[in-house]
Structure 1
Amino acid sequence: MPPIKHQVVSPSAGISCHAWNADKSMLALCANDNRLQIYEGCNSPSFASWRLAHVLEEHDLVISGISWSPVTNKIVTCSHDRNAFVWSYDAAQAKWNPILCALMLTRAALDVHWSPSGTKFACSSGAKTIAVSRLDTSQGSDWYVSKLIKGHKSTVQKVAWHPNGLVLATACTDFKCRVVSAVVEEVDTNPDPRPFGTVKPFGEAYHQFSCGGWVTAVAWSPSGSILAYAGQDSTIHFVRFDPSGAVSEQSVRYALLPVSSLAFLSDKAVVGGGHDMNPLVFTANSSGQWSFLRRLDEKSTGPAKAEGAVSSMSAARAMFQAKTTRGQASSGGAGKDLWTQHANAIVGIEGMGRAGDPTCSKLSTCGLDGRLVVWEIPTLDIDMQALGL
């Protein structure tokens, strides 16, 4: 069974980010503008059955991050306008109500994620800082207040919460991935520091890891014992945190374009999506050594086309003529030779398993081609045992 591909928005617009609700029946996305679009009926495999239920327009600039808490059913969005909004659904009025969050950022907000508990969220930015926000009801009014994590030397592109909800991993363009404390005393009443030994004060770093290029993506495994971060130099790095406190790191270089988003399927497999327009799968063997396994989307090897074989000389001549006359790499028109599900860079990957489960066998990817692709891993011709599924 091939992946399910939905052309949600125009290819000229593209999708900048997306997020699912708890039961995956609703989808929130941004079509590279300032509007949050919420679809209903998304558990249907036919896009014709989906319904655009809400269009929310509080932001002034492009929405760069969306996170939908499976615990509270609240949505948080961040934007290049340096603001974040938390959206709560009012069933009586059938509408989403926004609360503006004071992020205190001086540059664009880039990525946002709810903590596993849904009591706080973290937002990365171009201001070399991360805003960690929580709901404050002490003054008799509901609004979100923020504390800033500093110490980064350049833009923080991505953030990822450890499953314990106390620690953040950050992807920064200063060629560093950092693991920092994000403990907020007002909401983290019983902190569990495992596997980091002790609970450090807010903003203090546990570890710092180097990369040969910008760090473009970061993710934690379901157990929280493995951290993966990817670099612009087409590398992916795996850091293992043992219960004893020992930390080991392995780097994997692959001969493809770099990835800009990561999602774990299990503690033995991670999927990365980016400029290659095709999700890449990395797995660990029995001894814990990671390697590149394959592309998630593989080219079908069907029979030859009916129009017949063409000599290599004729094919080369047609290609150069197309480039000089139409500016295309193929005489057949733009996109005709693409066999991948995506026709442009993948900018987001979201696991579609239940929150807290140790494995995830379904995920979605969105891209600058305006497509949303749903991947049912067991239906693909792939070794499930190697994926730990």
Structure 2
Amino acid sequence: MSQQRVTSVISSHGWNSECTILAVCPNNNEIHLYEVVSGENTLSRTTTLQQHRQLVSSISWNRGGSFVSCSHDSTAFVWSLEGDRWTPEPVFTRLKLAALCVRWSPCGGKLAIASGEKRICISHYEKEQKRWVSKPFRRCHSSSVVAIAWHPGGALLASTSTDGRCKIFNAALPGIDGQGQAPGAFGDVLIDVEAGIGWGHAVAWSPSGCQLVVSSHGPALQFLCGLYGSSAASLQPEAAGRQLLHHVQLPLRCVAFLSETSVVGAGFDGQVFLFERDGEGVWSYARSLSPEPAMRIDGGGRRGAISAAFSAKLAMFRSPAKKDRTREQPLLSAEGAAAVAPGHDNAVVDLQVFTDAAGTPTGRFSTAGWDGRVLLWDAGKGATETEESGEGRAEGLIKAPTGVLTKHCPNRLLFDPVGTCD
């Protein structure tokens, strides 16, 4: 078995709906596909895709087994498996600057692509032309659009930008979504609010589509509740339906709903945090799912203490002999990896929540970060059941030449590109 080194940074990742194929961008123009081999409990790299010319910024799968990728070279490709080969089909985005985020609609018939050109394009497959065509919004943001999220109904699209705004658009295409799916006409701005404090990082809808959360660089989370969408007026949340939650963690690069009353977020801290809503509809910080001690949070949003994770990183810079990440790393057993690598040790930049066939979150999700790791987490049913330690569980693969896939083991590394691979 040959051994080779891969990069130690991950910029984006994505799982297919069956959780049998993992697509990873190792912070360059490539996409690496890893397949879970049934019966052997192994994960091996099967394909390397190199259609893009610059950094792959986002990956999104649909339930049909295809996925879409976009890049800083302003291109996007829809990848489909034909036989044993992945075939790319270009999306005519008509963009001149970098494509920063792409998301497949819940119905699987549309794509939303956000760019550094201050634009959002909605793409669909035109049967007569036999290609993916795009239609941009007439009015969009005044700066780069960094994150987008589809409403569960597929007719609304939420976005956030470096201009510090969060907007909800009518993204219903005539002939695809039907009539009366969303108020107004295609491209109309239905909501335009502040993302929080500073520029936005991430945006996500609740499973019912009645709530929206936006993460900003403040750091803060902005919650919008009561978004029923029957008319443009009903989408405008009242003052009581908006809540700005300050937190003392470093900004969260990615957020997602696990249920109507729980939100998970991760970012520059390298930890995964859980936020919950009480019976009165008030959101607050719940706990850290990472094994490292969580920071204290007070009511005024002031830093209560320096986290152990930050202290460890600070000590690394003070050390006369720093560890070289590019140096060959010793292979770890499952027990050894669980002890030294229980979670991320660098910023988390991507998060994907797993859902069932009906699109309901199962409580499991994966995170990818600048440490080159992909971790699989289980927050429990509805993210309300906790272990006695109060920590979440990360489980999965110890990347070694044997490729052993361990299941139901707490705080296990799922995928570590710093090690060797097949």
Candidates 247, 252, 257, aligned match of 2:245: 252
Whether the aligned pair in 2 keeps the contact of 1:9 and 1:370 (CA below 8 Å) is no
- Could you tell me which amino acid in structure 1 is paired with residue 364 of structure 2? K
Give the superposed CA RMSD.
2.9
Residue equivalent to 1:202: 186
1:383, CA displacement in angstroms?
Answer: 3.6
CA deviations on 1:211-266 (whole Å, 9 max, x unpaired) are 22010000000000000000001100110125482612101000110101111100
2:286 to 282, 293, 305: 293
1:66-96 CA-partner distances (Å, limit 9, x unpaired) = 00101x22110000010000011112xx111
Which of the residues 53, 56, 64 maps onto 1:63? 56
Q: Distance in 2 between matches of 1:320 and 1:344?
A: 14
Task: Write the distance in 1 (CA, Å) between the matches of 2:74 and 2:153.
Answer: 28
Shift of 1:339: 7.1
SS of the residue corresponding to residue 355 of structure 2 reads coil
| CA displacement at 1:380 relative to structure 2 | 12
State the 1:206 CA deviation. Answer: 0.5
| 1:345 lines up with 2:333 in the alignment | no
- Relative to structure 1, the CA distance from residue 42 to residue 88 in structure 2 (aligned partners, 3 Å threshold; closer, same or farther) is same
The correspondence for 1:84, drawn from 61, 70, 76, is: 76
Match among 195, 209, 212 for residue 224 of structure 1: 209
Give the number of equivalent residue pairs.
342
Answer yes or no: is 1:185 the counterpart of 2:179.
Answer: no
User: Is 1:22 the equivalent of 2:6?
Assistant: no
1-structure distance, mates of 2:376, 2:15? 12
Give a deviation string over 1:344-378, Cα, whole Å, max 9, x none.
10001101222534332100000011100001223
Does 1:107 find its partner at 2:91?
no
Name which of structure 1's ranges 353-362 and 262-271 shifts more when overlaid on structure 2.
Answer: 353-362
Instruction: Give the unaligned 5+ runs of structure 2.
Output: 294-310, 324-338, 391-422
Give the distance between the partners of 1:44 and 1:68, measured in 2 at CA: 24
SS at structure 2 position matched to 1:360: strand
| Matching of residues 144-159 of structure 1 within 5 Å | 144-149=132-137, 150-159=139-148
Structure 1 vs Structure 2: percent identity of aligned residues?
32
Which residue type is aligned with residue 358 of structure 1? T
Measure the CA separation in 2 of the matches of 1:89 and 1:371.
26
The answer to whether structure 1 residue 276 and structure 2 residue 269 are counterparts is: yes
Note if 1:233 corresponds to 2:222: no
Partner of 2:128: 138
Mapped pair 1:52 → 2:45: yes
Superposed displacement of residue 13, structure 1: 3.3
Quick one: structure 1 residues 325 and 151, their matched pair in 2 at CA, closer, same or farther if it must change by over 3 Å?
same
Normalised by the length of structure 1, the TM-score is 0.81
Residues 19-55 of structure 1 show CA distances to partners (whole Å, capped at 9, x for unaligned) of 1111111111111111111111178896xx1121111
Q: Would you say the 8 A contact 1:299–1:339 is kept in 2?
A: no
TM superposition outliers: structure 1 runs of 4+ over 4 Å: 42-46, 319-322, 337-340, 379-382
Measured at CA, do residues 45 and 127 of structure 1 come closer, stay the same or move farther in structure 2, by a change above 3 Å? farther
TM-score by length of 2: 0.75
Structure 1 CA distance, aligned partners of 2:68 and 2:11? 15
**Is it true that 1:40 corresponds to 2:35 in the alignment?**
yes
Question: 1:230 corresponds to which letter in structure 2?
Answer: S
